[in-house]
């Protein structure tokens, strides 16, 4: 019991942050699956969701500001795709990726301008921000509800992708972009929908993440974004369950490293893990073996 | 298409060059080299507010029988060592007589040589790292130093809490954080204490594991000299995890960001700092009025009118510069540099005078404050002095 | 215009530029803003060209530039701090382990060499990866390098998280132009050699290049090591320019900045990278600074202008270039006297060197 209460906090923190990474990672993995684009701006969209909540909560009560944040975040995600990625559909992949970096730069600087560079305190959300005690460990309720919520969302998403028509279109687009277009799939709507789902999950992730880690800064999305991307690659990019499992693994191992006293390398470890995976299993844990088209 | 782009850019740059304003006669310029963005943006802005308020309350100075208008030339060094030099060059190029700043020692050191080559003296306001003034004659400073602050905190932990074991958490790659942690550790170990040291990387916001570590190691105090960004997260998570030992930090935590984060939560936070609100009534009322008079000022101060110690220090730095200008009798930077050595004044943060070796302030006391989690204000604890 | 004539004109132009700088240095104070941005511009031109060698000419999308600059900057700093100053700089580590100081020029070369060694070692595993995966792996390595350099167990060598300072540095802007110019010239020579042709073949079609008998692994490694060597040199120059250096500043944001310079200049254009490096630095650090300060024209308070606005405007400019001027300033072309000459005289343009990444 003593051992448990000493070590459970690391595990709980790991699972909780892993779940939050997972919600961001899904956005990366879905966009990459279809567009073969590392959407560098995704982490910043996540940060925007946090900031919007900070400002919305000063004006509206929680039951209005939460849906409002979701709607605005989805709109931002949608707009980013339409403005910055769609015109580059025929351009080489590097151009689109650079455009993504540009959007990320713009969003961060806009946030810097609006907040004046000061860390904003995230409002305490009722119920999920409450402090509770689990097995002798004191923590916020959000730590405990994150994993089941993530799993529920993933099940819904997998159902959407495998059982609905629009999901079929998504799968087709990620298998073969051009052919699916020839088959009459409205590729632009499919892509927009992907971004909408990704941004929606990022918004949900932001509620959970910032309830735990309450300082919202213009760069607050950069590191979680990068780690979520690593998680997506780790699990096999394009695969949603893979991204989720990858995210949990990264969240947990990152906290174990800290628990072992190797705090200097907690971030470096994540990247080392990524590189090892890329070298020995380039398609990730659950990725399909890609065939090079000549 | 690309030609069009070049011509647009060229035209834009030309328009900007023409827009540069001419220098007015009988104006003396004081450079303000402070961060307004990056890790230390919050603190830098509060420090700048102190200077702006000082400038508003005393906009002229008599130098050698002529009355000069004092103009603040404010640049943003972005808390970054690679952007700092060009910001410093701008000040030198603008012909400032003396520079104030910066919040954060790293950027001060990065700009030091630019000021030296430009022949402009600089007054460090709250850069506490010894290396800023060490071995040069143009960088002065009006605050206490990290070795002093570290030992004040170590003694305070030992005397007040009877602490035998301290958890020290510093930010990786941050010289302020690591330096203060180093001096605290040294002093704490000299007192017979034991230290558990940990680092967190840039961009980290998950401090739960560190807090668990501190608990598991049975530490008596949690010392974390970090920027306010990390601080807000640390406090929130310490409260959520029911950390019962006190949190200790240096001057950076003396900010309303900390108070807001701590309000209504079950945490104990102690900081060492340069100034305690209530130390000078006239200054407090004046600066509060100044902050409330303008929405931008209010936002820069973090949304309320709590007087940060760095604001008081910024205020004092401005008057130190004015004293030096008066004593020099000219706006020539070299003469101001010479005059600075013997400047003495009673500022709101205490008596200011420089030692004759490095140009460091002669200060032997620091305020210790505790965050009142009910009122969301700082409560005075003690004035701590340490014989080196 | 004959080749010989062109070379003479180019040499004369470069000589003229250096002469102008030399004269300017006699008349303007050394700390003038102009020199500060020119120095940094020269350094960024070099690192942008070195990145272009990889991304534009070899088609390897690497995002590790900041990491290699860090290696270079630290090598330079660690090896050149005068022995007398070491006790001050390494104040937390009892003066550090290294108790000698090298001549700056030797240290610069070693800075590049060590960055090259790091690149060689990193290249062994990662160069097998394809495009985006390579990008993310190199980005990851840059982060790992940063963590290692900040590790306090290595403090006696790297000074941990603390600044390196007090090392010698050249003040003259001419030095930065000459050093950076020599390095860029070396890169250009490489691009025009058989190696350069092999790089471009790899970029255009890996499979075809391999079929032609080009050793992919070998050439990719060479491009990666050479690019990192020059990134290391530019890191050393940057350390010199800043007069103090700290690992914390070599973040991925720095790599992105360099990448944007390459893109604005035109992926696959050396002169484009140089021009855009200077434009980028001069605009962002000098001319656009006024956007950060409250301004009154008469009694009219100009709206929006306050701290941080400069970066927003700058980001918008970048997005406009990325979206609407996709080729950047120069596209894949090179700025050359003969090009201008032919334009003016209306004669048919000669085949230009270089080539885009995306054809």
Domains of chain A: 2-280 (1.10.3470)
| CATH code, B193 | 3.40.50.2300
Count contacts between A and C (CB, < 8 Å). Answer: 126
Q: What is the DSSP letter of B364?
A: -
**What local confidence, expressed as pLDDT, does residue C352 receive?**
43
Q: What is the structure's pLDDT at B121?
A: 95
| Tokens linked to B64 | 């050698």
Q: What percent of chain C has pLDDT over 90?
A: 46
For chain A, give the mean pLDDT. Answer: 88
pLDDT of B8:
56
Give pLDDT, residue B64.
87
Same-domain check for residues B190 and B95: no
Residue C60 lies in a domain: yes
Facing residue for B232 by CB, picked from A119, A139, A223? A119
For helices C3-27 and C33-52, the axis angle rounded to 10 degrees is 150
In order of B366, B368, C121, the CA distances from B385 in angstroms are: 7, 10, 53
Residue at C358 is within a domain:
no
Are B151 and B266 part of one and the same domain?
A: yes
Given a contact cutoff of 8 angstroms between Cβ atoms, the answer to whether B217 and B264 are in contact is no
In a domain, B196, yes or no: yes
Sequence-ordered list of residues with C-beta below 8 angstroms from that of A117, at least 6 positions apart, any chain? A218, B36, B37, B38, B41, B42, B45, C307, C308
What pLDDT score was predicted for residue C3? 75
Give CA–CA dist C222/A203, Å, rounded: 44
Show residues of chain C in contact with B174, CB under 8 Å. Answer: 161, 248
Q: Which residue of chain A is at minimal alpha-carbon distance from B38?
A: A117
| Chain B contact partners (≥3 CB pairs within 8 A) | A, C
CA distance C167 to C88: 12
pLDDT at B149 over 50: yes
Rounded-to-integer distance, Cα A259 and Cα B210, Å: 8
Number of domains, chain B: 2
Angle in degrees, 0-180, between the axes of helices B84-93 and B105-118, rounded to the nearest 10 = 40
As a whole number of angstroms, the distance between CA C72 and CA C111 comes to 4
Q: Which chains touch C (3 or more CB pairs under 8 A)?
A: A, B
Q: Which domain holds residue B259?
A: 147-273+367-384
List the single residue in B19, B118, B177 with the smallest CB-CB distance to C290. B19
- Mean pLDDT (whole number) for C343-357: 50
Which of A199-208, B76-85, B132-141 has maximum average pLDDT? A199-208
Per-residue pLDDT band at A293 (split at 50, 70, 90): very low
Q: What is the pLDDT of residues C311-331, one digit of tens each?
A: 898 899 889 988 888 888 887
Asked if residues B115 and B134 have their Cβ atoms less than 8 Å apart, the reply is: no
- What pLDDT does A159 receive? 92
Q: Over 70: is that where the pLDDT of B12 sits?
A: no
Q: Which residue of B has its CA nearest to A223?
A: B203
pLDDT at B10 over 60: no
* Chain C CB contacts of A274 below 8 Å: 136-137, 140
Q: Are strands B247-249 and C244-245 parallel, antiparallel or unpaired?
A: unpaired
- Same domain? B241 vs B290: no
pLDDT confidence band for B387 (50 / 70 / 90): low
Give the residue from A139, A141, A137, A138 showing the smallest Cα distance to A125: A141
In a domain, B223, yes or no: yes
Q: Measured between alpha carbons, how far is A17 from A244 in angstroms, rounded to an integer?
A: 12
B86 falls within a domain = yes
Count how many domains chain C has.
1
Please report residues of A whose CB lies closer than 8 A to that of C135: 38, 97
pTM more than 0.90 = no
Question: Quick one: pLDDT at residue C33?
Answer: 84
Phi and psi dihedrals of A131, rounded to 5? Answer: -90, 130
Find the range with the poorest average confidence among A108-122, B60-74, C33-47. A108-122
* pLDDT digits 0-9 by tens, C219-251: 999 999 999 999 999 999 999 998 889 898 898
Q: Mutate one of C52, C311, C317, C357 to test the A interface: name it (highest A CB count within 10 A).
A: C311
Count of A-B CB contacts under 8 Å: 112
Residues B307 and B374 in one domain: no
H helix or E strand, kind and range, residue C319:
helix C309-324
Q: Which helix (H) or strand (E) holds B371?
A: strand B365-372
Mean pLDDT, residues A237-255: 90
Residue B338 has pLDDT above 90, yes or no: yes
Whether residues B61 and B179 fall in one domain:
no
Query: Is A116's CB within 8 Å of B41's CB?
Result: yes
> Touching A: which chains, 3+ CB pairs < 8 A?
B, C
Mean pLDDT for C52-61 is 91
Mean pLDDT of A28-47: 90
Judged by a CB distance cut-off of 8 A, whether residue C295 touches chain B is no
Contacts of B242 in chain A (CB under 8 A): 131, 138
State the best of B4, B41, B71, B86 to mutate against chain C, taking most chain C CBs within 10 Å.
Answer: B86
Taking the C-alpha atoms of residue C357 and residue C51, their distance in angstroms, rounded to an integer, is 13
pLDDT (mean) for B271-275: 90
B217: contact with A, CB 8 A cutoff = no
What is the residue-averaged pLDDT of chain B?
A: 87
Complex prediction ipTM = 0.86
Test mutation, B55, B114, B116, B173, chain C, max C CBs within 10 A: B173
| Residue C328 domain boundaries | 3-347
In a domain, C235, yes or no: yes
A45 or C14, which is more confident: A45
Q: B156 with B126, same domain?
A: no
Contact B217, B194 (CB under 8 A): no
* Whether pLDDT at C302 is above 80: no
Decide if B3 is inside a domain: no
Which pLDDT does position B19 carry in this prediction? Answer: 43
- How does C325-354 read in b/e, with b if 16+ C-beta sit within 10 Å? bbbbbbbbbbebbbeebeeeeeeeeeebbb
pLDDT of residue B7: 58
The answer to whether residue C172 is domain-embedded is yes
Residues B245 and B380 in one domain: yes
Same domain, B244 and B374: yes
Residue C337 lies in a domain: yes
Residues B152 and B170 in one domain: yes
pLDDT at site B20: 43
Does any domain span residue C359? no
Min Cα distance C175 → chain A (Å) is 32
Q: Rounded mean pLDDT of A46-59?
A: 94
Sign of CA dihedral C167, C173, C175, C176: positive
Q: What is the pLDDT of residue B181?
A: 94
When the pLDDT of each residue in chain C is averaged and rounded to a whole number, the result is 87
Asked whether residue A65 carries a pLDDT value surpassing 60, the answer given is yes
Distance CA B35, CA B80 (A): 8
Contact yes or no for B381/B369 (Cβ under 8 A): yes
C226 belongs to a structural domain: yes
pLDDT greater than 70 at residue B22 = no
Residues B60 and B167 in one domain: no
Residue in B86, B112, B170 closest to C36 by CB: B86
B212 assigned to some structural domain? yes
Q: pLDDT band for C349, please (50, 70, 90 cuts).
A: very low
B45 plus B118 within the same structural domain: yes
CA distance A269 to A260: 13
Cα–Cα distance for residue pair C47/C69, rounded to 1 Å: 8
Chain C partners within 8 Å of B172 (Cβ) = 147, 150, 161
Q: What is the pLDDT of residues A144-163, one digit of tens each?
A: 899 999 999 999 999 999 99
Q: What percent of chain B has pLDDT over 90?
A: 49
Do B205 and B310 have their domain in common?
A: no
Q: At what angle do helices A93-115 and C252-265 cross, to 10 degrees?
A: 120
Q: Write the DSSP string, C120-179.
A: HHHHHHHTTS-HHHHHHHHHHHHHHHHHHHH-GGGHHHH-TTSPEE-------HHHHHHH
Within-domain flag for C192? yes
| B126 and B251 Cβ atoms separated by less than 8 Å | yes
Cα angle, residue B79 at apex, residues B73 and B84 outer, rounded to 5° = 60
pLDDT bin (cut points 50, 70, 90) of residue A289 is low
């Amino acid at each position: 019991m003593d051992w448990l209460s000493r070590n459970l906090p690391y595990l709980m923190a790991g699972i909780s942050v892993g779940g939050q990474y997972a919600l961001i990672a899904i956005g990366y993995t879905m966009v990459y699956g279809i567009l073969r684009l590392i959407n560098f701006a995704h982490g910043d969209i996540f940060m925007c969701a946090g900031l919007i909540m900070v400002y919305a909560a000063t004006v509206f009560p929680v039951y209005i500001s939460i849906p409002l944040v979701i709607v605005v975040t989805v709109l931002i995600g949608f707009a980013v795709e339409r403005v910055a990625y769609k015109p580059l559909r025929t351009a080489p992949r590097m151009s689109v990726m650079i455009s993504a970096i540009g959007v990320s730069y713009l969003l961060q600087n806009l946030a810097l301008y609006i907040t004046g560079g000061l860390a904003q305190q995230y409002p305490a959300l009722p119920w999920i921000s409450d402090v509770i005690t689990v097995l002798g460990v004191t923590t916020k309720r959000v730590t405990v509800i994150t994993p089941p919520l993530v799993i529920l969302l993933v099940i819904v998403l997998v159902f959407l992708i495998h059982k609905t028509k629009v999901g079929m279109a998504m799968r087709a687009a990620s298998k073969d972009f051009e052919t699916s277009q020839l088959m009459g799939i409205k590729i632009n709507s499919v892509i927009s929908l992907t971004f909408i789902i990704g941004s929606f999950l990022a918004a949900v992730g932001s509620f959970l993440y910032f309830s735990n880690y309450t300082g919202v800064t213009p760069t607050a999305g950069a590191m979680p974004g990068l780690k979520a991307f690593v998680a997506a690659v780790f699990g096999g990019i394009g695969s949603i369950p893979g991204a989720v499992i990858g995210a949990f693994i990264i969240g947990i191992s990152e906290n174990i490293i800290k628990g072992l006293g190797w705090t200097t390398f907690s971030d470096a470890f994540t990247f080392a893990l990524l590189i090892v995976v890329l070298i020995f299993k380039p398609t990730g844990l659950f990725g399909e073996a890609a065939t090079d088209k000549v | 298409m690309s030609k069009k782009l070049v011509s647009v850019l060229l035209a834009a740059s030309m328009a900007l060059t023409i827009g540069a304003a001419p220098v007015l006669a009988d104006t003396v310029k004081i450079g303000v080299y402070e961060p307004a963005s990056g890790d230390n943006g919050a603190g830098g802005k509060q420090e700048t507010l102190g200077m702006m308020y000082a400038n508003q309350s005393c906009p002229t100075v008599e130098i050698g029988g002529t009355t000069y208008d004092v103009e603040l030339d404010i640049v943003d060094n972005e808390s970054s060592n690679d952007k700092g030099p060009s910001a410093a060059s701008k000040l030198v190029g603008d012909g400032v007589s003396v520079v104030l700043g910066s919040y954060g020692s790293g950027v001060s050191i990065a700009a030091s040589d630019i000021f030296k080559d430009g022949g402009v003296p600089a007054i460090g306001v709250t850069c506490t790292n010894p290396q800023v003034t060490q071995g040069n004659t143009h960088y002065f400073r009006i605050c206490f130093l990290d070795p002093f602050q570290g030992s004040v905190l170590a003694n305070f932990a030992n005397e007040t809490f009877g602490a035998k074991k301290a958890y020290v958490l510093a930010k990786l790659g941050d010289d302020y954080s690591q330096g203060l942690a180093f001096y605290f550790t040294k002093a704490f170990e000299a007192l017979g204490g034991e230290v558990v040291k940990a680092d967190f990387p840039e961009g980290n916001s998950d401090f739960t594991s560190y807090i668990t570590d501190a608990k598991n190691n049975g530490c008596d105090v949690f010392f974390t000299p970090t920027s306010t960004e990390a601080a807000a997260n640390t406090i929130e998570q310490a409260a959520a995890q029911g950390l019962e030992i006190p949190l200790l930090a240096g001057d950076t935590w003396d900010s309303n960001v900390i108070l807001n984060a701590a309000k209504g939560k079950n945490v104990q936070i102690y900081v060492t700092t340069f100034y305690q609100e209530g130390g000078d009534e006239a200054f407090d009322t004046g600066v509060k009025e100044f902050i409330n008079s303008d929405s931008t000022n209010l936002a820069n101060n973090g949304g309320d009118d709590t007087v940060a110690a760095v604001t008081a220090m910024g205020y004092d730095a401005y008057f130190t510069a004015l004293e030096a200008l008066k004593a020099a009798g000219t706006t020539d930077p070299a003469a101001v540099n010479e005059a600075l050595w013997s400047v003495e004044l009673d500022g709101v943060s205490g008596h200011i005078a420089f030692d004759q070796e490095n140009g460091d302030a002669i200060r032997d006391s620091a305020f210790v404050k505790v965050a009142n989690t009910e009122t969301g204000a700082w409560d005075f604890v003690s004035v701590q002095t340490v014989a080196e | 215009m004959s080749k010989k004539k062109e070379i003479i004109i180019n040499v004369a132009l470069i000589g003229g530029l250096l002469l102008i700088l030399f004269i300017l240095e006699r008349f303007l104070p050394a700390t003038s803003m102009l020199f500060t941005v020119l120095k940094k511009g020269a350094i960024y031109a070099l690192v942008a060209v070195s990145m272009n060698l990889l991304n534009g000419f070899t088609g390897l999308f690497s995002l590790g530039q900041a990491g290699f600059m860090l290696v270079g900057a630290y090598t330079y700093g660690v090896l050149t701090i005068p022995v007398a100053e070491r006790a001050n700089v390494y104040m937390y580590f009892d003066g550090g382990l290294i108790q000698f100081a090298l001549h700056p020029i030797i240290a610069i070369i070693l800075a590049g060499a060590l960055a090259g060694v790091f690149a060689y070692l990193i290249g062994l595993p990662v160069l097998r990866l394809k495009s985006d995966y390579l990008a993310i792996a190199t980005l990851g390595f840059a982060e790992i390098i940063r963590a290692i350099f900040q590790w306090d167990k290595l403090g006696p060598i790297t000074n941990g998280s603390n600044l390196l300072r007090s090392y010698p540095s050249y003040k003259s802007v001419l030095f930065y132009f000459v050093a950076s110019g020599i390095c860029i010239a070396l890169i250009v020579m490489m691009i025009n050699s058989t190696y350069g042709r092999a790089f471009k073949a790899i970029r255009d079609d890996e499979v075809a290049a391999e079929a032609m008998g080009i050793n992919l692994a070998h050439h990719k490694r060479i491009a990666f090591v050479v690019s990192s060597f020059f990134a290391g040199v530019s890191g050393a120059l940057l350390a010199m320019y800043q007069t103090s250096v700290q690992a914390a500043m070599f973040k991925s944001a720095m790599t992105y900045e360099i990448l944007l310079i390459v893109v604005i200049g035109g992926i696959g254009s050396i002169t484009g990278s140089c021009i855009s490096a200077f434009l980028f630095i001069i605009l962002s650090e000098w001319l656009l600074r006024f956007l950060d300060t409250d301004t009154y024209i008469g009694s009219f308070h100009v709206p929006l202008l306050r701290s941080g606005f400069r970066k927003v405007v700058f980001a918008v400019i970048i997005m406009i270039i990325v979206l609407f001027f996709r080729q950047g300033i120069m596209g894949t072309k090179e700025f050359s006297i003969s090009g201008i000459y032919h334009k003016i005289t209306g004669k048919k343009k000669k085949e230009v060197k270089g080539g885009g990444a995306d054809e």
